[in-house]
Amino acid sequence: MKRQFLVLIVRWLLNSLGLWIAVRLFGTGYSDVVFNANAYVFLIAGFIFSIVNAVLKPVVTILSLPAILFTLGLFTIIVNGILVYVSLKLAPGINMTFWHSVLTGLVLSLVNYIVSSMLELEYSNRVTSEERL
């Protein structure tokens, strides 16, 4: 239980960082992306995205399974964009168009993939070291 809570906290902080990076990357010079420079806004948006990703992503993925299979998995990019778009609509202070949300979804997918890989690698290293004993 303690490990799962730690994973949630790490994902929350890294999702907040990923949102900040994505808004900086895709928000410069665009009038349709509005953001506050306040770190609390990105922490709240990262928390909302973490919850939406944990609760809604399995449901939306199952409902869009025919489209995902038909496009050989490329529709998952749109699913991630939808989740980011919904999260940013719920978050105060950040407003982004749908297509910029899709690009942000790509950035956050990369962040979550790296986090999952690191946590899995750390867990497998710990399990193998315990098996040696």
- pLDDT tens digits for range 45-98: 889 988 898 899 999 999 999 999 999 999 999 999 999 999 988 988 787 888
Q: What percent of the chain has pLDDT over 70?
A: 81
Q: Bridge-partner residues for 33, per DSSP?
A: none
Residue boundaries of the structural domains of the chain: 2-132
User: Does 129 have pLDDT greater than 70?
Assistant: no
* CA nearest to 77, candidates 99, 94, 97, 56: 99
Half-sphere exposure of 35 (CA within 13 A, CB side): 25
Cβ 50 vs Cβ 12: under 8 Å: yes
Give the integer Cα–Cα distance in Å for 98 and 89: 10
Cβ 96 vs Cβ 85: under 8 Å: yes
DSSP code of 95?
Answer: B
Give 41's pLDDT tier (boundaries 50, 70, 90): confident
pLDDT given for residue 59 in this prediction? 95
Q: Going by C-beta distance under 8 Å and a sequence separation of 6 or more, which residues neighbour residue 67?
A: 75
Token readout for 120 is 């899995």
State which amino acid sits at residue 108.
L
Token readout for 106 is 């790509």
> Could you tell me which residue, 3 or 130, shows the higher pLDDT?
3
Q: What is the dihedral of CA 118, 44, 57, 101, to 10 degrees?
A: -100
State which amino acid sits at residue 117.
S
